[in-house]
Amino acid sequence: MKIGIVGCAGRMGQMLVREIAATAGCTLAGGTERTGGPALGKDLGLLAGIDPLGVAAIDDPVALFAQSDAVIDFTSPDATELHAALAAQSETVLVVGTTGLNPSQQAAVATAATHTAIVQSPNMSLGVNLLLALVEQVAHTLGDDFDIDILEMHHRRKVDAPSGTALGLGRAAAAGRGVALEDVWQKVRDGHTGARPAGEIGFATLRGGDVIGDHTVMFAGDGERIELTHKASGRQIYAKGAVRAALWAQDKTPGLYTMRNVLGV
């Protein structure tokens, strides 16, 4: 399978280059960077700190999609909207790890998925996706007798809050209770908030240092508390999951899939 990378010179892009090069069953189709960027024309293997791969960074995403069986996207919401349209036009598999999409951008991804297979997840790691399944099950079992709060921490450079993974965990909890997250979430508590409403799902966000990603879902009842936690110690877990998703999707019909589909959980 020929896999392309948009944003190939960034931290995630370099990890994806290394992961594709080391994974049986796939080859690197190419990679894009912004026009005028210093990585243009350079070998992607050298950019990623490995042996040359004979593939240079370009600034033409149309060409990348045309020459790829799948493209992996960990960029920005605006760029992901464009890439979804290109995937639909070329019927190329798209793996989306970008977070922070607004409703219009998410709708564009869903529309593109009517023409090609798209795997989208706020977090590509195996552990987090198992956690999503557990959170949904626990929320369903415990019901409204337990209050749910989601605590997340990331490095100081992260630009969106709560994190996409935290929101994904919130949606899993809401699904377990049979409600829409938007109807019950509380993203910020400040000042005199009054008593907590029944069924509310709260979020707390921390930013600092070089933390890759810590997430805890707390179920607090009278006299007891359950905490489910995932801590990432390396970003390569996201690259591994994204490449696995691309390989899984190569023979799938058009549709919007998640990592839970990929992992069968």
Give the model's pLDDT for residue 123.
84
Alpha helices in 96-199 (DSSP H): 103-112, 126-142, 164-177, 181-184
Catalytic residue list contains 2: no
Cβ–Cβ < 8 Å for 265, 133: yes
Q: Which residue has the tokens 């290394």?
A: 18
Single pTM value for the model: 0.80
Between vectors from CA 102 to CA 87 and to CA 137, what angle results, nearest 5°?
A: 90
Give the model's pLDDT for residue 163.
93
Give the model's pLDDT for residue 227.
98
CA dihedral sign, ordered 111, 114, 117, 119: positive
Computed over its alpha carbons, how large is the radius of gyration of the chain? 19
Annotated binding-site members: 7-12, 51, 97-99, 121-124, 155, 164-165
pLDDT (tens digit, 0 to 9) for every residue of the chain, 265 residues total?
999 999 999 999 999 999 999 999 999 999 999 999 999 999 999 999 999 999 999 999 999 999 999 999 999 999 999 999 999 999 999 999 998 899 999 999 999 999 999 999 988 998 999 999 999 999 999 999 999 999 999 999 998 899 989 999 999 999 999 999 999 999 999 999 999 999 999 999 999 999 999 999 999 999 999 999 999 998 899 999 999 999 999 999 999 999 989 988 7
Between CA 87 and CA 117 the distance in angstroms is 9
Q: Is cis: bond before 162, omega within 30 of 0? A: yes
Amino acid identity of 229? Answer: T
Cβ–Cβ < 8 Å for 70, 92: yes
Give the model's pLDDT for residue 92.
98
Annotated binding-site members for NAD(+): 7-12, 51, 97-99, 121-124
Give the model's pLDDT for residue 21.
97
Give the model's pLDDT for residue 122.
81
List the one residue out of 219, 129, 143 whose CA is nearest residue 179.
143
Annotated binding-site members for (S)-2,3,4,5-tetrahydrodipicolinate: 155, 164-165
Between CA 205 and CA 187 the distance in angstroms is 9
Catalytic residue list contains 231: no
Q: Which of 83, 154, 215, 230 is catalytic?
A: 154
Q: How many CA atoms lie within 13 A of 80 on its CB side?
A: 29
Question: What DSSP designation does 149 have?
Answer: E
CA dihedral sign, ordered 137, 231, 185, 172: negative
The token pair that represents 73 in the structure block: 């996207």
Three-state DSSP at 59 gives coil
Q: Which of 2, 115, 140, 158 is catalytic?
A: 158
